[in-house]
A and B are shown apart, each in its own frame.
Chain A
């Protein structure tokens, strides 16, 4: 896949990446936040623990898939992404491993929606559809331009509570008392990620494994 380069991401996610980038620079220059209550919070931002700046993007992408359990749009919908996904960031790293895992999930979801090849079906039509889909999701350009913006956008939009990405941004400094804890604590976010992943597995993977 090579390095990602400039990709479109929601503004919320762009803010989070920029915040981590700033905090890394501050750490390097030994800056400390001045409006800070030492007794109440941890001293250095927990977000510094992300190995790479792209990690939150990958997490947001999976959250979007687990939450919506929907297939990606066809290429024509790119215009919609252009108008809805306003942020962007340049990453000089690759995410090959996670792209492969993501595409495996997408394949399972596609089989869940379209079924396994069946003896009674026209196998030629089925193969053509399947290959078209796999060709599309394995295309690097499509992955960068459609898949990443589409699914990260889904992780930034919540109707009843603050979005996962927004809460992740707040998880840098977290208090130690129960009343101070919000849904932004790392332990809560990790639990939420695992729950969403479990639901996806239950609804998609496990059901397919039984067929």
Chain B
């Protein structure tokens, strides 16, 4: 019956949790252990502490202990409120020839302060929870959340809800099996149990890979997505074609105007030549006047440019800035302004511990400190001292604006005279026509040049637009290529996921069938030939005379069904059971007892004294009473 590869518990030691202090030792050479404990002495607490330790990793343990439907329930001892407590549970077990010691320590206090609703105690104030797992007497030691991962690998954690069996869990299964609204809980549990972990891991990895590809692509690489990208590429191509057309139009417009400019320049030269060649005195005069006017305009412009360019410099020139420096010196002298280094000295005095004079070393009393602090207000920072000592920024240039103004005014007068003279010239109609045409052509020339400038601007903008669109097109084309390649990979991932799902479904069907058969056999053995049980993907039903229904079996039958369900779901062999018989009829107890002995390499029963008849006695194990601290809770 004993199998060294199976999980076998050797002891459970509880110190302080909820005020319980006892140790349950199991003789590993024996299969059955019965601990007789009276009501309210810690039976349920043991089961719940074990579930808490196995189900919740260290970082998630706080606030997750459950007791008798209270969720969360306290773990600290409420008989010692406000006191610092350190509770400990140690579980010794072996599996596949290796010895393990799991230990969870919780430090904290129990607070009697009322909660927000002023109804209950605040309860636990946990400071620290720490898990340790020691393998083969310290050969390997693990701490923290890693401990739970190992318990998971040993299949203890996934089985904790089944091999740790009590009335609460039995009621839960009965409720799930009997209530259509709650049956989904059972279905979820079955699914979790029958789904092979490795396949789930593979599927997860495929999902991760799929997500990584989606993230990298920024889309799901669907056909719709690919079509969208292609449509966008076509749209961009159309935009580029339109823009190229516009660009070509702009270039044409520029060329037309450039040709016009050349044509007009030629015509202006021609007209100027005509004017010169005409040998007309008036025209020659006009020509001279125009030249002079242009010269004067250029000179005035040059002077004005000079003024604007030097406007700022006027501010730091022209004046005798030594006067300001004298004023500053006057301030320094009349104000007897202190030297800047004093500030450092004052800081040193005040910041030393205790504050003391940096020169004579005398300790400064409060009055002296106040005086030194006042002195600080008399001290200018270095920046201010530098400013007061610095020369005024200046340049040595002199701008005689008066003369410059006179010069410009004179040139303006000259310009006006020349302009009047130009206006008064008496030209022939032909000459007037030439001049007018030339001036008109010059004006038009200017307009063309301006328009060329505008078109050049438009041309640059459209070139930049085309470049941007081309870049976008290239990017999208690259994306489309990548999408196509990734689509192949994604299709393969989908195929692999489908294959995994199919395998999972097949395994699930088969496992459910096996569990259902085992369940049926167990129920049949315990309750008798006319009873059976059936587990499907969405129901757990007891059957009597081949009639399966939620209402079959009564309380006793349903309890047996719960037992058998838990047995068939656990992946570890031992069963630890709190109040094992409860409401089970006397007639069935013996059969249940035989069934448990036959099917488990280790049975740990936490019994009430009333449960011994017809149940424990046939097992005939050594019975132990359990003591809490110094007080014996029950003596057989």
Contacts and interface: CB of A to CB of B under 8 A. Distances in A.
A51 B309 contact: yes
A49 B450 contact: no
Nearest to B297: A176
A97 B378 contact: no
A187 B305 contact: no
A186 B327 contact: no
Which of B303, B381, B384 has most chain A Cβ within 10 Å?
A: B384
Contacts of A209: 323, 326-327
Contact of A187 (B304, B381, B456): B304
A138 B324 contact: no
B453 A31 contact: yes
Interface string A19-62: 00000001001111110101000110011011100010011001
A101 B328 CA distance: 13
A183 interface: no
Interface in B392-426: 392-394, 401, 404-405, 408-409, 412-413, 415-416, 419
Contact of B412 (A62, A108, A123, A177): A177
B362 interface: no
A185 B401 CA distance: 13
Interface string A151-182: 00000000000000000000100101110010
Given A101-B393, A177-B412, A187-B405, A205 B324 contact: yes
Contact of A108 (B324, B390, B451): B324
Interface stretch (A10-18, A77-85, A191-199): A191-199
A211 B409 CA distance: 40
Contact of A55 (B296, B300, B311, B409): B311
Contact of B335 (A36, A50, A126): A126
B206 interface: no
Contact of A38 (B327, B392, B443): B443
A97 B391 CA distance: 11
A36 B304 CA distance: 19
Given A49-B309, A123-B336, A193-B311, A208 B387 contact: no
A197 B314 contact: yes
Q: Is the interface of A mostly helix, strand, loop or mixed?
A: helix
B301 A42 contact: yes
B447 interface: yes
Given A111-B327, A181-B412, A38 B312 contact: no
B314 A190 contact: yes
Given A100-B390, A107-B328, A190-B401, A178 B308 contact: no
B308 A50 contact: yes
B449 interface: yes
B384 A101 contact: no
B316 interface: yes
Contacts of A104: 324, 328, 392
A185 B304 contact: yes
B315 A177 contact: no
B327 A55 contact: no
Contacts of A32: 446, 449-450, 453
A127 interface: yes
A11 B415 CA distance: 37
A210 B306 CA distance: 35
Given A98-B315, A138-B384, A178 B412 contact: yes
Given A30-B453, A127-B337, A189-B311, A46 B304 contact: yes
Interface residues of B, number: 65
Interface string B539-561: 00000000000000000000000
A186 B387 contact: no
A29 B457 contact: yes
Contacts of A105: 324
Contacts of A29: 453, 456-457, 460
Contact of B314 (A31, A111, A194): A194
Contacts of A30: 453, 456
Contact of B311 (A108, A123, A128, A190): A190
B334 A97 contact: no
A34 B296 CA distance: 24
B386 to A, nearest CB: 9
B308 A49 contact: yes
A135 B312 contact: no
Contacts of A131: 377-380, 384
26 contacts: A29-B460, A36-B450, A42-B301, A43-B301, A50-B308, A58-B312, A59-B315, A98-B316, A101-B394, A116-B334, A127-B378, A131-B378, A135-B381, A138-B387, A171-B308, A177-B419, A178-B412, A190-B311, A190-B314, A190-B404, A193-B314, A194-B318, A197-B314, A197-B319, A205-B324, A209-B323
Interface of B: 296-297, 300-301, 303-309, 311-312, 314-316, 318-319, 323-324, 326-328, 330-331, 334-337, 374, 377-381, 383-384, 387-388, 390, 392-394, 401, 404-405, 408-409, 412-413, 415-416, 419, 442-443, 446-447, 449-451, 453-454, 456-457, 460
Considering the complex of A and B, which 5 residue pairs feature the smallest CB-CB distances, nearest first? A34-B450, A117-B335, A31-B453, A49-B309, A49-B308
Given A171-B308, A177-B415, 20 more contacts: A34-B447, A34-B450, A42-B297, A46-B305, A59-B312, A97-B393, A108-B327, A117-B335, A118-B334, A124-B374, A127-B377, A134-B387, A186-B304, A187-B408, A190-B404, A191-B401, A193-B315, A197-B314, A197-B318, A205-B324
